[in-house]
C-alpha cells in the first residue's frame, strides 16, 4: 500500500513542476501579447490625437462661420 501512495500522480513532484512550467509559459505568452497591444496603441495614438484636433478645429470653424451670419 505504501508503494501505491508514492507512485500516485498527486504526490509526484514532477507533476507539480510540469504544471508550474505550463503556468509560466502561459503568463509569458500573455505578457508578450500585452506588449504587442501596447506597441500598437503607441502607433495609433498620434493618429487619434490628430483626428481629435481636426474635429476640434472644424467645430471652432463652424462656430465662427455661424456667428458671422
Sign of CA dihedral 43, 46, 51, 52: positive
- pLDDT tens across 25-68, in order? 666 666 676 777 777 777 777 777 777 777 777 666 566 555 55
Domain count, the chain: 1
Residue found under cell 505504501: 2
pLDDT band at 16 (very low <50, low <70, confident <90, very high): low
Quote the pLDDT of residue 23: 65
First-residue to last-residue Cα distance in the chain: 97
Q: Which domain holds residue 18?
A: 2-68
Task: Answer yes or no: is pLDDT of 6 > 60.
Answer: no
Amino acid at each position: 500500500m505504501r508503494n501505491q501512495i508514492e507512485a500516485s500522480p498527486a504526490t509526484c513532484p514532477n507533476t507539480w513542476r510540469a504544471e508550474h512550467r505550463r503556468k509560466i509559459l502561459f503568463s509569458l505568452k500573455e505578457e508578450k501579447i500585452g506588449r504587442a497591444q501596447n506597441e500598437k496603441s503607441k502607433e495609433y495614438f498620434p493618429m487619434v490625437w490628430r483626428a481629435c484636433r481636426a474635429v476640434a478645429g472644424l467645430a471652432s470653424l463652424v462656430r465662427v462661420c455661424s456667428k458671422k451670419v
